Amino acid sequence: MTGQELATQLRGEVDRYEYPRVDGVLGTFWTPERVAREIALLREALVEPSQRELHVHERPDETVWLVATLDEVAVYFDEARGECGLGSIQADGSINDWGVYGDLVGTFLAR
C-alpha cells in the first residue's frame, strides 16, 4: 500500500462515517453538533501518511503509517493489523503506543 492509497482510503472512511447510536451503550450519546465538530477536527488533523517507528511496551518496534496528529497525539495505521491506533508523537517523529485501537474515526474520537 502506498501513502496516497492509504490517504484516499482514510478520507473515504471519514466521508462515510455515521455516528452509531446503539441501544444498551453505557454513557451519554454525543450531540450531532459535537460529532460534527470532532469530524471537522479530524479532517484538519489528517496528514499525508508517512511511515514511522512505533514503540509498544515490551515488544519489538514496528513500522506504521502516521495518518493524523493533534498537538502531541498521533493516530497511526498499522497495515499488518488493518486498524488504527492512538499514541503520542515523540521529538524524533516516532510514536509511543497507548493501547487504543479501532477504525480511524473511533480511534481519533477516543483521544
With helix as H, strand as E and coil as C, how does 91-102 read?
CCCCEEEEEEEE
**Predicted pLDDT at 16:** 96
**Predicted pLDDT at 54:** 98
Q: What does pTM read for this prediction?
A: 0.91
**Predicted pLDDT at 58:** 87
**Predicted pLDDT at 29:** 86
Q: Which residues of the chain have pLDDT under 50?
A: none
Q: How many CB atoms lie within 10 A of CB 16?
A: 8
**Predicted pLDDT at 99:** 95
**Predicted pLDDT at 83:** 97
